[in-house]
């Protein structure tokens, strides 16, 4: 799986990658995808705040 964001801490990426690798349950993957969207949303918000 390719992560859509690069600015996160390496450990955090590793944790998410491990979770994706260990989940074969559809519901779990759904939850993780939602988590991914939430994280992306916050990063976009933070970057927008930095620019102003």
Q: What is the pLDDT of residue 41?
A: 83
DSSP string over 1-52: ---S--SS-HHHHHHHHHHHHH---HHHHHHHHHHHHHHHHHHHHHHHHHH-
pLDDT bracket for residue 48 (50, 70, 90): confident
Classify each residue of 13-44 as buried b or exposed e, where b means 16 or more C-beta atoms within 10 Å of its C-beta: eeebeeeeeeeeeeeeeeeeeeebeebeeeee
**pLDDT, tens digit, 9 for 90 and up, residues 12-41:** 666 666 666 665 555 666 777 777 777 888
Q: What is the spatial distance between Cα 12 and Cα 17, in angstroms, rounded to a whole number?
A: 9
Q: What is the pTM of this model?
A: 0.35
């Amino acid at each position: 799986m390719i992560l859509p964001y690069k600015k996160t801490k390496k450990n955090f990426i590793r944790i998410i990658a491990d979770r994706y690798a260990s989940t074969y349950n559809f519901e779990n993957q759904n939850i993780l995808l939602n988590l991914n969207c939430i994280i992306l949303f916050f990063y976009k918000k933070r970057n927008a705040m930095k620019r102003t």
